[in-house]
Amino acid sequence: MPREVRTRQMLDAAVEVFARCGYRTASMDEIAELAGASKPLVYLYLNSKEELFSACVRREAEALIAAVRSAVDPGAPADRRLWNGLRAFFAHTAAHPDGWALLHCQARTYGEPFALEVARLRQQLVDVVTDLIARTAREGAEQECALPEREIAGLAHALVGAAESLAGWADSRSCEAAGRTGAPPSEQEAAGTLMNLAWAGLGNLMNGRRWAPARS
Amino acid sequence: MPREVRTRQMLDAAVEVFARCGYRTASMDEIAELAGASKPLVYLYLNSKEELFSACVRREAEALIAAVRSAVDPGAPADRRLWNGLRAFFAHTAAHPDGWALLHCQARTYGEPFALEVARLRQQLVDVVTDLIARTAREGAEQECALPEREIAGLAHALVGAAESLAGWADSRSCEAAGRTGAPPSEQEAAGTLMNLAWAGLGNLMNGRRWAPARS
Amino acid sequence: MPREVRTRQMLDAAVEVFARCGYRTASMDEIAELAGASKPLVYLYLNSKEELFSACVRREAEALIAAVRSAVDPGAPADRRLWNGLRAFFAHTAAHPDGWALLHCQARTYGEPFALEVARLRQQLVDVVTDLIARTAREGAEQECALPEREIAGLAHALVGAAESLAGWADSRSCEAAGRTGAPPSEQEAAGTLMNLAWAGLGNLMNGRRWAPARS
Amino acid sequence: MPREVRTRQMLDAAVEVFARCGYRTASMDEIAELAGASKPLVYLYLNSKEELFSACVRREAEALIAAVRSAVDPGAPADRRLWNGLRAFFAHTAAHPDGWALLHCQARTYGEPFALEVARLRQQLVDVVTDLIARTAREGAEQECALPEREIAGLAHALVGAAESLAGWADSRSCEAAGRTGAPPSEQEAAGTLMNLAWAGLGNLMNGRRWAPARS
DNA sequence: AATGAATGAGATTTCATTCAT
DNA sequence: AATGAATGAAATCTCATTCAT
């Protein structure tokens, strides 16, 4: 069996096991077995547990970012682009729950040696969203009312977080765990909720309709 | 030294170590040492690593929820209540970064035996927010336009996720890791961004100003 | 069982196993078993295989050097001092064949991380011998004929090597291995052979009776 | 590439790696890579790590013994023969430091399966020297004073050991390790030191000028 | 109330070695 | 003549956990 194929199998297995168990709890034995190969072969091709995990994270993150990017038609109007990006995000995370779990749940531990890399990848996602928002704001501005960069960054972080949370909501595993009932939301629903939030927020902000605490 | 005091010391130490290293990587040796007690004593008081971790999560989650709840004056107007809740959330997470790291970063692993409990605690937080939103919506509705429960739940999830993300943004550790520059946002800023988002979104939804994809 | 006693047992076992198998071949399992303790305890007390080996080498080297040093009566005449030193050397190596094997056979591999330390310890032995020779030469000089330092160092190296070789000769294990027959030499014999060599060599050198190649 | 050439390349590589790392630490991967061949080929030609090591030791030992033997002109006078043998020994070990390291440092481990063979090869070297000394003694005896065989064997062992030690002294690697300073001795110097020692020792012994401990 | 001493079980990783081609 | 692919076995080391005091 050619090396490339084997490597992919191993990554697939590793993503699944890491998503299920977490980095430390996952054992190389289990990964190797699931990949249908022997442990030494896993080491031969992927060097160490750490590198294997890194490779998984990188692959999944790149796939997610690529999915979002390619869904965004550069010629479309601003709102359409944001909408498509969101739908692609929810579609991809729903289609690849293990990869998503890896990125969202497992890869955040500070103190692990790959934390830095993971943080950078998440930042990439935020950057993509920041671009989307900035263009949306620019094109959609009814009047000359540029949002400060800092505010846009905040919005992007908030949106990414909201999207992550909604994606998690849609994940049946977390449903069971939390004891929630009722069907999880569809991608359309999740994207819709978020789109409305973003659209309304952007609109208000751009038009100066801010909420401010009443003087006490 | 009385048992209560010792126990608190142990939990403090455990939260710090768990936050820094994660559940699996943290070692009971380190925790015991940091707590200034011997390992057998830790076991005598807290039974096992798992129970110790659970106790940490429970304590920190309850503290966070209590902080948010107590900041919400039941007699205040709807927007004020949401605003105060958000500020309390950001204030608390900023004041207790280890506890927050525990809840946000470490405690998400599916597959660990305490995952269930952790998910339930997060659900409590979502429930608090859901209540806030529901009441805000009810009171703030300019016209009779009840939002469906399902949509409110979605909003709550989105808001909690956005808040988490903004709280993470404000955490200097993740800043360094992601290579971001510029000062992290203050609690006021974070709360403001989120409040605007929520307020605008709620307002639009309640008034039927929804964004919908153009027919293609 | 108190820590000190256990530690000594472990070192004893380690010296035996390392001497028998060499550093790499020896297994911590075997050492722990021979020491009558569990492996984790060995690690708790001695940290790592490398440190364990270092500790063995240090202990044995110090014991050997101490044995030689304490046998040398500072008030005795020069030849007597050398003689006593040699006898002590052969007596000690014969009495502690494992320790000797460790120093002589196992601890020389360049490339191992402890090679440096071992080389330094051997140098100590050479230094002791150099002192002995230097004083012998000074006191025993029939006429004013100081040997150059460099020559003395050479002699010391040669003597130490010769002693090592004779000590190895006396070791029954190497006898079997080499297929030699006949009883191995006693300490007295070995010391005598070496003493004569050293004494004659020194005498000749000091009196200028050197061997030089005939002009060809 | 013909088999013979390849085999030599492999042995060259193996000697280098074994000398650098020791038998156990050396890896077949490294040897194969350095030899520029694939691992299965190494196994095809040399069967196993053990046989490979044996082959290396045999080759190097035979080369050393041959060098010494061929330097000894059977017709020359006794002292001249010893002198030439010694010079050849130091010249060869200096010219082939890896081979020498293999014989002197790596190949002494009792407990490895080739220990027996290695010991026999060293014994051959001792035998060569024993012959040299025996003939020297016979020819050089000023009076009828045959040295007992046992004493000659002792001398031979001592001389070989001394030579080994001096050769080691001359090896720059051990110099660095021991922290010694000053230029290492040349072959001439080493051979001279040893020749004087041997010559004087032999002379004294044959003439009955022995050192004996004073009655106490 | 508190601990020094001790361990069973399991983790990652390495390596000599062999097929199938 | 030569090799890419693959592995069984064993190494070092760690850790949560428990006695005996």
When mean pLDDT is compared across A49-53, C110-114, D54-58, the lowest value belongs to: C110-114
Report the distance separating Cα A204 and Cα A198, nearest Å. Answer: 10
Q: Which class for D65: exposed (0-12), middle (13-18), buried (19 or more C-beta within 10 A)?
A: middle
Determine, yes or no, domain membership for D65.
yes
Residues 176-215 on A with a CB inside 8 Å of B are 177-180, 182, 185, 189-190, 193-201, 203-205, 209-211, 213-214
Please give the residue range of the domain that contains residue C34.
1-47
Average model confidence (pLDDT) across chain A: 85
Report the distance separating Cα A86 and Cα A191, nearest Å. Answer: 6
Please tell me the predicted confidence (pLDDT) of residue A135: 81
Please tell me the predicted confidence (pLDDT) of residue D70: 94
**CA pseudo-torsion sign A135, A140, A146, A149:** negative
Residues 45-84 on B with a CB inside 8 Å of A are 79-80, 83
Placement of tokens 């009495």 in the chain:
C95
Report the distance separating Cα D149 and Cα D126, nearest Å. Answer: 13
Pair (D9, D90) in one structural domain: no
Pair (D197, D129) in one structural domain: yes
CB contact (8 A) between residue B201 and residue A205: no
Q: Which residue has the higher pLDDT, D38 or D118?
A: D38
Residue A79 confidence (pLDDT) above 70: yes
Please tell me the predicted confidence (pLDDT) of residue B108: 72
| All chains having 3 or more CB pairs closer than 8 angstroms to chain A | B
Determine, yes or no, domain membership for B185.
yes
Residue C138 confidence (pLDDT) above 70: yes
Q: Which single residue has its CA nearest the C1' atom of nucleotide E10?
A: A27
Residue type, B89: F
Tell me what the mean pLDDT of segment C113-133 comes to: 81
Residue C121 confidence (pLDDT) above 60: yes
- Split at pLDDT 50, 70, 90, the class of B152 is confident
Residue A136: CATH number of its domain = 1.10.357.10
| All chains having 3 or more CB pairs closer than 8 angstroms to chain D | C
Please tell me the predicted confidence (pLDDT) of residue C11: 97
Write down the pTM of the prediction: 0.88
What region, left, alpha or beta, does residue A2 occupy, with left being phi > 0 and alpha being psi -120 to 50 degrees? beta
Determine, yes or no, domain membership for B28.
yes
Shortest distance between the Cα of B155 and any Cα of chain A, in A, equals 7
pLDDT tens for C145-204 read: 567 888 888 888 999 999 999 988 877 666 666 666 666 777 888 899 899 888 888 888
Q: Which single residue has its CA nearest the C1' atom of nucleotide F5?
A: A1
Pair (D196, D166) in one structural domain: yes
Please tell me the predicted confidence (pLDDT) of residue D175: 64
- With a CB cutoff of 8 Å and minimum separation 6, the contacts of B59 are B11, B15, B99
Pair (A28, A105) in one structural domain: no
**With DSSP H G I counted as helix, E B as strand and the rest as coil, what are the percentages for chain C, rounded to 5?**
75, 0, 25
Pair (B88, B170) in one structural domain: yes
Q: Which class for A30: exposed (0-12), middle (13-18), buried (19 or more C-beta within 10 A)?
A: middle
Please tell me the predicted confidence (pLDDT) of residue C142: 55
Residue C29: CATH number of its domain = 1.10.10.60
Residue A141 confidence (pLDDT) above 70: no
Total domain count for chain B?
A: 2
Tell me what the mean pLDDT of segment C43-57 comes to: 94
Pair (A36, A114) in one structural domain: no
Average model confidence (pLDDT) across chain B: 85
Residue C18 confidence (pLDDT) above 80: yes
Pair (D72, D156) in one structural domain: yes
Please tell me the predicted confidence (pLDDT) of residue D30: 95
- Please state, for a pLDDT cut of 90, what percent of chain C lies above it: 38
Determine, yes or no, domain membership for C52.
no
Pair (D32, D137) in one structural domain: no
- Split at pLDDT 50, 70, 90, the class of B121 is confident
- Split at pLDDT 50, 70, 90, the class of D5 is very high
Please tell me the predicted confidence (pLDDT) of residue C131: 85
Tell me what the mean pLDDT of segment A53-78 comes to: 91
Determine, yes or no, domain membership for D212.
no
Residue B141 confidence (pLDDT) above 80: no
Please tell me the predicted confidence (pLDDT) of residue A6: 94
Q: Does A124 touch chain B (CB under 8 A)?
A: no
Instruction: Count chain A–chain B contacts defined by CB atoms under 8 A.
Output: 198
Chain F: bases < 7 Å from a protein Cβ: 1-20
Instruction: For residue C18, give the nearest of C118, C122, C89, C91 by alpha carbon.
Output: C118
Pair (B105, B140) in one structural domain: yes
Q: How many C-beta atoms lie closer than 10 Å to residue B43's C-beta?
A: 15
Pair (D168, D102) in one structural domain: yes
Which of C108, C116, C166 is facing D154, going by the closest CB pair?
Answer: C166
Pair (B21, B63) in one structural domain: no
Determine, yes or no, domain membership for D214.
no
Determine, yes or no, domain membership for D215.
no
Shortest distance between the Cα of B109 and any Cα of chain A, in A, equals 6
- With a CB cutoff of 8 Å and minimum separation 6, the contacts of C156 are C126, C127, C129, C130, C133
Determine, yes or no, domain membership for A33.
yes
Pair (A76, A178) in one structural domain: yes
- Please state, for a pLDDT cut of 70, what percent of chain A lies above it: 88
Residue D179 confidence (pLDDT) above 80: no
pLDDT tens for D8-61 read: 999 999 999 999 888 888 999 999 999 999 999 999 999 999 999 999 999 999
Q: Which residue has the higher pLDDT, C90 or D110?
A: C90
Residues of A within 8 A of B112 (CB-CB) are 22, 25
Tell me what the mean pLDDT of segment C52-67 comes to: 93
